[in-house]
Each structure stands twice: as C-alpha cells, then as structure tokens.
A and B are shown apart, each in its own frame.
Chain A
Amino acid sequence: MKDKQDQRQLDRRSFLNSMGVCVCGTSLYGLPPFSAYTLNEAMAAAQEGGEKAIPTFCGMCGPSSGCGIYAFVKNGRFIRVAGMKECPTNQGAVCAKGQAAPQWVYSPQRLKTPLRRSGAKGEGKFQEITWNEAISIIADKLKAQKKQYGPESLAMLSPARRSYSDYMQRFLIVHGSPNYGHSGICAMQRAFAFSYTLGGQPMCDYQGSDVIVVWGKQPFFSGPAQSGAKNYLAAKKRGAKIIAIKPSIEPDSGMADIWVPLRPGTDAALALSMLNVIIKENLIDASFVEKYCYGYDKLQEHIQKHTPEWGEKVTGVPARQIQEVARIYATARGAGIDLGNGVEHAPSANDAIRAVAIMMAVTGNLNRAGGGGNRLGGGMGPGGGSGTKSVNLKERYTQEMVNKLVAPEFPKVFQPFMEGTSSAYYSILDSVLTEKPYPVRMVIAPGTQPTVSTRGTKRVIEALKKLDFYVVVDVTRTADMNYADIVLPTETVYESDHPFESMGGSIMARSKVIEPLGPYKSIFEFFLDLGVAMGYGEDFWQGSMTACMNDLLSPLNLTIDDVRKYPLGKSLQPSGGAPGGAPGGPGPGADSGGRGNFESIFQAKSGRLDGAPYLPQGKVAIYNTTFEKEGYKPLPEWREPPESVTGTPDVAMKYPLTLSDYHTSKCYTASWQRNVPYLREVQTYPMLHIHPDTAAARGIKNDDWVIVESPHGWMKVKAELYPGIRPDTVMMLHGWWQGCTELGLEDFPIGDGGANVNNLYSVDPDKAFDPLITAMSSQTLVEVRKA
C-alpha cells in the first residue's frame, strides 16, 4: 500500500515536471499573489515531516465547495490541511472550518455503526446492525409502503442544494415520488422570482459597478476563501460605493459606505418604497422600459401608495435614507445588486425579489453597455455545466408525478422548477400530522436535522413521533436521530474517493485521505445501495460508484481513472454546452461590451412540463400575467410577517422586539460542527445580538444568560451587547443544539428552554409562508429578560 502511494506521488511529481505546472502566480482582482502550497511544495514539506500530502478538496461546507486542499497524513492519521495554490476556487486559502477538518473527522461524536431503533421513538435505544442489514430493512419497508400507499409516500429532505442532491432526485424519480423536500428558504426562491420576472438570474457585476448594493447577503462568511469576499474587497478598494442592506452589522457591512438597517423581513417594503422614489422622480431608463418591459404603466399607478414615509413606517429606515439610496442606485453609472439569501425568509419574499428585479430593469442596470449593474444570461442551478452527464433524470417527470406533490414548494403548474419537482420541507412533515392531502409515510433525512433546521420545532417533533418510518443518514450524531428507525453513518469526504468535482473549466477527482474510521460508506453509495436493494439496479449502476462516475464522464470521453491521472484537475476544452458563470462575474449570454441579446434571454423556457417561457410577452414581467392567471398578485405587494410591530401592534405591546436569525456563520455550516473544538472555541455560546441601550433598559449586561420569549416559545441564550444592530431588533445564529465533548459543553435542549430559535416562530399556514414560493418567516416578536 505504502509503495503504491509513493509511486503515485512520484507519478504526480514527474507528471508535473513534464507539464511545467501552471500555477496561478498572478493575482485576481488586483490583490498580490500570496503564499500557499503548490503540489511540489506540499510534497516536499510532507516528505520532510515523514508525512503524505494528498491533493483533494475540502468538504466542510456547501453544495460543492470546490476549495482545493492538500490533506496531510502521518502514520495513517489525517492531521492538517493546507490550501491548494493551484486551485482557481480558493487560490490556496482555507477558512477556519477547512482548517479544523481533522477534528471533525476524529470527533467522539461520529456515528459508530448503523443502528436500528429498539426502544420507543425519542428514547434513544438502538441496536447495532450492519450497513447491508440497514439497507435491506429500509428497502423492505419502502417496497411495502409503495405497494400500499403509492411511491409518493416517500419524501427526502434537502434543505439546501448539496453535492448529493441530484442523487436524491434520481432516487425519487426512479421510485416515482415527486417529494424532494426543499427548505423554501434557499436560492430557489430567488431563482423562481428572478426567472419569472427577468427570464434569468442577474449576477452582480462587482468589477464594473460604481455602486454595489449588498442586500440580505453575507459575502464574507459564505465561503470566505472563495471569490465573494475578494470581489467585495476589490470593489471597495477601487472606490465603488457599497450600500449594505440588513438589520445588523457584520464585518462586510461594517466596512460599507452606507448601512441601511431595515427591520428583519421588510425587504419587500423597502424595495417598493425605493421604486416609488425612482418612478416618482423619473430616474428610469425610458428607452429600456419602452422596449423591454411589460406593464410599467400599471406599476406607476400601483406604486403610488408605497411612499418613502410608508416605507419608513414598515421598515424602520428613515424616509430620507430610502430616498437617498434609491437616488444613488438609480443615477449611478452602473449599480449592481447582490441579493442574498436573507430575503428568502419572509412571507413577502417573492415580491421582495420581484421588486428588486424590477428596480434593476427600469433603471437600465441590466446588461448595462460598458459594464456595471447586473448581468443576465447565466444562472445557477443544477447540472455540472462541464459537459458531464446529469445525475438527475428530469426527462422522466410526468404530470402524474407533479399531481402527487404532497406540499408543492411552488404551485404545481410551475413544476418541475430548476432542481426538479419539490415539496416544502416543513410542510412535508406537517402532512404527517394533518394527513392532508395525504400523510407521507417514510422520510429520509440525509445530512439534515428537521428539529433544528426548519421552523415549528414542536410540530416537527410530533410529526417525527407519528411518522411511520424515519431514516437518518449523517456523519455525526444528529438532533433528531432518537426518532429514527434506522440511522446510517456515512464517511466524511476525507474518507471517500468520489465523486469528482468540476470547477473553473476543469474536472478533479476526489482522493481518499484516510481509510474510513468505521463501517461507513459514502452518502452517494447510500443511494446506489438502496437503489439496488429496491430493484432499481439498472438505474443505479448496479451499485458501483466507479461505473457511475464513468457513465457521468462518458460525454467527455473520459473515465474516472483518466481524471485521477491529473492530481490538480483535468482542464476541459470549452464545449458547446456553456459552463456556469463564475460567481460575481457575468454569466454566459451576457455581453459585457453591449447590452446584448435581450431578445433571446427574454425567451428563456421554464422547466415546467408545458415548457412555457418564463416571460410570456418576451419582456420583463413588471406586471406578471403568469402569476395573475394562477390567482396570484400580478404586481409586487407588501405582506406582513405573522408577527411584527406594524402588522400586529397588539402583540408588540407584550413583545416589543423583533427577532430574526442568521443562517451563515464564520465557524459552522448550518446546524453542524458545534462539536468541533477549534471552531467552538471561536463561537462558544449561542449569542443574542442586542443593542446596548436595549440591554441596559432590561438590566442585561454583556455575557448574561437571557430568556428570549415569543408568543410561540422561548429559549435561553447569552446576550452579546452589539452596537451594530437596530435597537428594536435582536438576532442570533440558528442551529444550536449540539454540545462539544472535548470542551465539556453539553447539548442544549431542542425544545423550549434550549437555544433553538425555531421554537419561537409561527408556522401558521395562512401567515408564515409566502403564498407563491412557500418562503418561511424568520421573524417574530419577543421580549428579552435576564435569566
């Protein structure tokens, strides 16, 4: 084994020597080159320390992180991580999470073996079984349920896009269920509203804009080693004016030129009142509006009521600041908006995103001649984009499957959308309780924890208790595994050699850093194995990941063994299929020189079964006839969260502060990784950000434990006196439950009295969801007192 490894290293080195290794020594975005390891340097360093350096990519966050690393191994133990200088994604940088990876891999909280529940639900009694036993128990149950209740009785939960999302979709499609459970609060909500307004997704041009509006976005902590943060700093350095719109200051907004501190969840109201200013003061690109927009006259009429004074009342942002930012945005030579995930957490999310899209269009900031503004034509979304075969089997969707959706994330007529068919994550679980339109019978939760990841914890727990069969698949123990019938422990990515990753026009194999530490398989193999056990072997490469990867690579005439010969990735010739646009850069189809090809962009076809175009008039849908036809509002409107100071003033008498939560942190990925000591030392406790004046009025000092109570539940967390937050608002990071063994920190309760913010929100089906795109409210009213 060792000889083989040495041989491989030798091969790599001689390969590199022969190719002269292309190393990015030049800087992107005007920053100087910096030091990290190249392959040769990593190999040399490893050799000196009696170690091995294995080129692969990080796996601590994201759907496909793509940060290249050298994983160092000594005596068979994964000991540390260095950044891969040659990797275009991170150029040698590694964030805190990436650096702490070995502690995650060796955590005492790793699941040890597959488990089968032997006690009552929630009791936590399990018996150890083998992987194969677990798979066949699930398959037997699934076959019986399929026969008795139909294939739609199976749902899988996928709160955000993950590297294995397409495998989930594939399994569901082959099985016949449309119930892919997407959160309703991540990326697809923007994709939907943007596509049905602009025909595509507008990327903020950080390089060319004079003004950049960073709205509901955390550009630093989401992949700090990647391009978002660098784009932001470079724009700042070249003198672009940065406007930050969010309720509290974080390091990014802390260096913005203007901070617009709006109340959580009021983005739609802010966008509408900015539009009011822009339209009233005629700060529009009249020829673009004339030629490419549908329904501007109706908007002119509609927007009159959304005055800056009205906006101030709802958002808490002074009317003069609303006017100021609207004018700056609309009159700049090029103004780009980077609209983040923060706007997807409110019952008015769809209209917030539409109003922002309309703002981009009417001010002439789409594909602006000479650059700047937002570039249309690219798009995120699934599909490797590198010319490999898609894992998803979208072509097999039928109307019958769409009709069976238990809780459509988007109305059935709009399905399948970009990722495929989908039901709303929370509402799938709710169907177990309401049995409307039917109860889901089996839920598979790979890498997600519904009791801490979605709202309405109390109902979620009831649903998990009542659910026929619950399967948890994860790396470490999870918040709700005690309700699971079967628990399957998976490999970390560092214990796995698949799949491959495509990034920046190249394709790179994953290398195994260490052998699995237990009887683990990968999350990908879980879907393959279950597929085979269900009799779907033909669609699941008969259980072989190698066959799978070779099949996916076949359009490129490559095999995975071919790709493995290139430790730093095999670069691909540009093919007919356009690769995905680089984040922050113009997408394909956008013409950076001129205004480009609106005629073709505005004809883009949606993924729904009837293939209807996103924009029936072939123009920006200011007045949306598609929505109108289905019974939704054709023009963007303001819609209050379930509780708010303006919407429910009576509730605000008892609970005067607005609560919301952060979904991105510097140390953790969602509800994961609180068990990693080096990360937990940085963010040890759940901290409630509270303005010093607000705290003082309640006798609360920094670091005090406090009780935060809403009409729906309460939590006990610590106060962090935080000057950079609206005094009428408190915020904290979501996802707290897990303890850290090494630091002697115990778990927090999942329910009331713990640190789980989800207990505090409303899940009222009539008030807490966006009526069209099911975005869930992360806003409520609370009072805070010393514990």
Chain B
Amino acid sequence: MIDEQLGFVYIKENCLQCHGCEVACKSWRNVELAVKYRRVKNIWIGAYPNVKCQSVSISCMHCAEPACVDACPQNAIHKRPEDGIVVVDSEKCIGCKACGQACPFGVPQYGKDGKMQKCDMCVGERTSGMVDPPCIMTCPTQALALSKMDVARKQDAEKSMKTLVDAA
C-alpha cells in the first residue's frame, strides 16, 4: 500500500449544504447531465421535536484499498503509486458496472457512453495557480480540503465517511 497519499478531508461542522462544491465540480469539469462526481446530502438525526441535521459532501474517497480496482475485470481502474489517486482508463472500461456494485460509497457514475466516470481529484486539470480542485476552492466555509495522509488516517476518513453516507 502507498504510505503517503492524497485524501479528501470533510469537516461536517462547517458544511452549509449549499451545494457549491457539487455544482463547481460539474461546471469546471463540464460533467454531463445526470452524472455527479460529488454530491451533497442531508442526514437526519433524532426524532421530532429533538431533531438535528447534518450534511455530507461525498466524492470518490480514493480508498487505501479500493474495492473498485479489485472488482474491475478489465483492470481499467488503478491507484496511482505516486499520490494514491484512483483513476479509470476509459479505453479499457467496458461499462460492466462491477465497480458500481463494489464501491461502498456509491461513487461510480455511468454517462451516455456507458463507461465509468468519477472524481479524479482534477489530476491533470489543475493549472499552476490552482492549488486545490474547484470543489474545495469554491467552499465558503472550508468544509473540504485535500490532505496528504498515511494509510491509517485514510482508512479513518473512509470509516467516518461511510457512517455519514449510510445515514444519508
């Protein structure tokens, strides 16, 4: 496993549920309609009148041990050794959706061409002035960040995101 890799940090206490990240992602990457690389959801906690709510903004977690990589029969998905970003090779992808079944976060998306697409942390899209992907840059309250993390921290991030996504 890659010892130091990039991961998203999501600070739920800061999220306004404004969907700025979600729409920034679509606009900057020109994502086709009905496909979402990032989505914002509401989570209910408790019952009336003791109700609270929380937010979650989720995209590909670029997992320490990505289930999608193992599930792909074409070896079309791989985790980059240099930074841990999980990328999909659309030349190899046959659109069998095995990755969609395997992913615990519901991340893989299939557009008009039937092939899998998802967040790649805007690798290769970032120009020199662009420190972070647009989802992070546009956030009014710094609810999102990119961070270098070791495997243990990455797995912690995955675990807490899994709890949020399952509740949403």
A residues contacting B by CB (< 8 A) are 31-32, 34-37, 40-42, 44-45, 48-49, 80-83, 90, 92-96, 98-100, 102-103, 220-221, 224-226, 229-230, 233, 236-237, 249-252, 254-255, 259, 261, 666-667, 677-679, 681-682, 691, 723-727, 742-743
Contact = CB atoms under 8 A, between A and B. Distances in A.
Contacts of B18: 95-96, 220-221, 224-225, 229, 666
Nearest to A721: B44
B128 A45 contact: yes
Contacts of A691: 48
Given A34-B137, A34-B139, A723-B44, 16 more contacts: A44-B127, A83-B138, A93-B20, A95-B20, A95-B138, A96-B23, A96-B24, A220-B18, A229-B18, A249-B51, A251-B16, A251-B42, A251-B55, A255-B52, A681-B33, A723-B47
B137 A677 contact: no
A40 B16 CA distance: 29
Contact of B19 (A42, A225, A233, A666): A666
Binding site secondary structure of chain A:
loop
A682 B33 CA distance: 11
A82 B20 CA distance: 11
Nearest to A81: B27
**Nearest 5 A-B pairs (CB), nearest first?**
A254-B53, A41-B129, A93-B140, A224-B18, A96-B23
Contacts of B34: 681
Contacts of B47: 723
A80 B30 CA distance: 9
B158 interface: no
Interface in B15-55: 15-20, 22-24, 26-28, 33-34, 36, 40, 42, 44, 46-49, 51-55
22 contacts: A31-B142, A34-B137, A34-B139, A35-B137, A44-B128, A45-B129, A82-B134, A93-B140, A95-B18, A96-B19, A99-B23, A100-B27, A103-B27, A224-B20, A251-B15, A678-B27, A681-B33, A723-B44, A723-B51, A724-B44, A724-B48, A724-B51
B143 to A, nearest CB: 9
A380 B34 CA distance: 41
Interface residues of B, number: 43
B141 interface: yes
Contacts of A677: 33
Given A96-B23, A100-B23, A224-B20, A254 B52 contact: yes
Contacts of A255: 13, 52-54
A45 B33 contact: no
Contacts of B15: 251
B147 interface: no
Given A37-B129, A44-B127, A678-B26, A83 B137 contact: yes
B38 to A, nearest CB: 11
A44 B128 CA distance: 7
Contacts of A237: 13
A722 to B, nearest CB: 8
Contacts of B136: 34-35
Contacts of A40: 129
A230 B46 CA distance: 26
Given A229-B141, A723-B47, A49 B53 contact: no
Contacts of B46: 723
A80 B20 contact: no
A60 B27 CA distance: 15
A107 B103 CA distance: 35
The interface centre, meaning the residue of B44, B131, B138, B142 with most chain A CB atoms within 10 A of its CB, is B138
Contact of B52 (A221, A249, A261, A678): A249
A94 B33 contact: no
B31 to A, nearest CB: 9
Interface in B44-74: 44, 46-49, 51-55
B4 interface: no
B1 interface: no
Contacts of A45: 127-130
Nearest to B14: A233
B138 A667 contact: no
Contact of A42 (B16, B129, B141): B129
Contact of A682 (B16, B23, B129, B138): B23
B52 A743 contact: no
Given A31-B141, A90-B140, A233-B14, A724 B19 contact: no
A92 B40 CA distance: 20
Contacts of A226: 140
